[in-house]
Copies of this chain bind each other. A is one copy, B any other.
């Protein structure tokens, strides 16, 4: 089979203006960026939303691959093939990791958003704008300190670092030794910027400004909070972000529309595309297929409890994706043997899928399980999964979008259409006005199935400080490993009898959530010994981009 980049390059792209026109957008409502990308005017997100909203999420990720983005794209192409207008609403890929090991985040096989090289490299400049806005604020903090420090900022409590869209491990720990400015600092990768989360959660430009103003950047010598508002940085940051706020329109390899906008980290942030993009898609199409980072324990939980809550969105259905390979891996079969049938391992690994299904059922009734087909799946294995349909009372649908594109997604598409006709009563898991510890414990017990939750002294103090600020409706954003329901990446499948330890809690006041860290979370990746960058080139075409 052809490589992803070959399939992307062979796609006969329609001019993006044509895709926009098919969505009913006249040329005052979009701007093209080259022939294959466009930005949609913000006013469209304020229109009445006519579409059904569908989340595609997955079991806990494994090295075997699940194909969440691929399924998302294949499903939207399948819907369009059946005559139901649909848009994939996805996250923008981060530039830095493309130079490491990871491929881009544009789907795979015959279910891709294209052109994958342009989407992965610079795209329409949104992440660069977020980087600039973040670093302008950092420069204004240190500049304030340099010019007399009227706000009495405690140099040891500057909590706003800098960002770069690059995997650059050396920038994890730095000391600034400049005149009158001496403190430790670091760089995060841009997707970890609170501004990324803010862009993705803001309803409109006014809301953006309000959230930017609330960002906590430092504490003064009395311990009082200093915000971006106090530094008069909000207007200039808004100016830098004005175009980055507009959703980006591209197309799939079957020339159906896709909107790709925003890409916050899925651990220290909520891991979903922007609310503005989702609402824009809902205004323009009958079906909107969206996604959230990592597995359903993190991605779907945050999509429901943070994004849907803040954006007042009601998902009409959720598709839970798994592969037989990945389930066997959860069931104990080694990675090197996943091509062989193993019904025992599959039976065991299905528990991971079922726990996610049970969890999702706590938010809504309309759930579909989708098996992303691999050539090595056996009939007996497939039959075992299909038996879940009766056991769980939920459709289980095989899809084959990687190999077949939208055609391979038609069965799933029809199941989604049917499910969206069923009345549903979506609700978040917890009340965001309750104490933070109650919200944390609800998620830990209901979703992760932890036996207990413990807190470091630091975390207890931090929770007290945050609650003393009397925040109104503060959801929690839990940062933990994506590989396990627990906080230990080695505990696969469905761990039980474990404790969740809260190491620290911090307020992302601009984003509007409390980040709860279970252990150390890396916010600046490194490059491997032989980074993929070494294989890249540009001749008359793009080489080495995965």
A312 within 8 A of B: no
Which of B34, B169, B243 meets A178, CB within 8 Å? B169
Cross-chain contact B143 with A239 (CB below 8 angstroms): no
CB-based contact A34/B34 at 8 Å: no
CA distance A166 to B140 in the complex (A): 10
User: Is A167 interfacial (CB 8 A cutoff)?
Assistant: yes
Interface with B: A131-139, A262-270, A391-399, which one? A131-139
Contact B236 A99 (CB under 8 A): yes
Segment at the interface with B among A67-75, A120-128, A460-468, A514-522: A120-128
Does A101 sit at the interface, judged by CB under 8 A? no
Chain A interface extent, by class: 35 or more
Interface string of A151-186 (1 = CB under 8 A from B): 000000000001011111111111111110100000
Instruction: Quote the shortest CB–CB distance from A333 to chain B (angstroms).
Output: 32
A149 to chain B, nearest CB (A): 11
Choose from B125, B169, B535 the contact partner of A122 (Cβ within 8 Å). B125
A235 at the binding interface (Cβ < 8 Å) = yes
Q: Which residues of B contact A121 (CB under 8 A)?
A: 239-240
Q: How distant is the Cα of A139 from the Cα of B164 in the complex, in angstroms? A: 11
Residues of B within 8 A of A139 (CB): 99, 166-170, 527
Stoichiometry, copies per complex: 2
- Chain A interface SS verdict (over half): mixed
Q: Which residues of B contact A166 (CB under 8 A)?
A: 132, 135-136, 139
Q: How far is the CB of A244 from chain B (nearest CB, A)?
A: 9
- A335 close to chain B: CB less than 8 A: no
A496 within 8 A of B: no
Q: Is the CB of A168 within 8 A of B135?
A: yes
| Among B33, B95, B99, B173, contact of A176 (Cβ-Cβ < 8 Å) | B173
Docked-complex contact B31 and A533, CB < 8 angstroms = no
Judging by beta carbons under 8 Å apart, are B31 and A31 in contact? no
Query: Across the two chains, which residue of chain B brings its CB closest to A145?
Result: B170
Among A45-53, A301-309, A360-368, A536-544, the stretch in contact with B: A536-544
Q: Could you tell me the distance between the alpha carbons of A28 and B296 in the complex, rounded to whole angstroms?
A: 45
A539 to chain B, nearest CB (A): 8
The reply to whether the CB of A282 lies closer than 8 angstroms to some CB of chain B is no
**CA–CA, A434 to B362, complex, Å?**
80
Give complex CA distance A229, B287 in Å.
49
B168 to A142, Cβ gap below 8 A? yes
> Could you jot down 14 A-B contacts, CB within 8 Å?
A32-B34, A34-B39, A121-B239, A122-B129, A128-B132, A139-B168, A139-B169, A142-B170, A146-B169, A170-B176, A175-B175, A175-B177, A236-B536, A239-B543
